[in-house]
Amino acid sequence: MNQDLDTRADAYVLGLLDETALADLEQALADDTAWRAAVTRARDRLLPLDMTAAVVPGAARLWDGIAAQLGRQDAAPAPNIPPSLPPQTPQPANLQTAPRRWLQLGLVASVALCIGTVFGGNWFTAEPVVIAVLMDDKGAATAIVEDFGSENARIRFVNAVSVPAGRQMQVWTLPSAEMGPVSLGLLQTASTEGLHPPALPRPIAGQLYEITLEPEGGSPTGRPTGVILAKGLAALQTGT
């Protein structure tokens, strides 16, 4: 029985389910403790996929979209980003698919957002240690996380996110595979919010950040269990 549950959990985390099965299992997360535990095990088991994704060049238009969403008309020119790869076979479009593509695009966008290149001027009162651009499963920027490395972080949404009744967004980071995912805080709306994570090691380049949709009050397991809304890798900022 546990083996069958773990097999379904692996398929759920990898994004291999059709829309009907995905909706049914999402609903079960709220009430079925055995299913939540299986999803947590699957995420831990498949974590190396997130940790080993190779970097793929992003399209130059990626910078233009992010700069426009931030409303920064005076932003400096984008870094020289190589052209995108030739068109690939489309991937399934449910919210759990293509973890590598999420991380690849997120890392490219994060590098483009280095202080002085994107924001310029005195946008921050303090300089973050890292910045991560979190991308949805289609490669669109959803939010930007600034981690100041002193039990303070900030998230700013650049695209709207709909949160169903009885659910909340939860922001996570992965300081290391050994430590596992750590919650940075809960969000009800897609707005600019301060985050107050627990004491963690100083954030590093390539650190994973993500947003999941969890039951109201947060994940019941202390680990991500819900749909991944967006994720990305951090870029170390100049001078930190």
The whole-number mean pLDDT for each consecutive block of 10 residues of the chain, a chain of 240 residues, reads: 75 75 78 82 69 53 60 45 39 41 51 43 65 90 92 92 92 93 94 91 94 93 91 83
Instruction: Report the pLDDT value the prediction gives residue 238, as an integer from 0 to 100.
Output: 67
CA distance 12 to 130: 30
CA distance 10 to 46: 8
pTM to 2 decimal places: 0.59
Instruction: Report the pLDDT value the prediction gives residue 1, as an integer from 0 to 100.
Output: 55
Instruction: Report the pLDDT value the prediction gives residue 217, as an integer from 0 to 100.
Output: 93
CA distance 162 to 160: 7
Instruction: Report the pLDDT value the prediction gives residue 187, as an integer from 0 to 100.
Output: 95
Instruction: Report the pLDDT value the prediction gives residue 58, as an integer from 0 to 100.
Output: 54
Domain ranges of the chain: 55-236
Instruction: Report the pLDDT value the prediction gives residue 240, as an integer from 0 to 100.
Output: 60
What residues are paired with 170 via a beta bridge? 186, 212
Q: Three-state DSSP class for 184?
A: strand
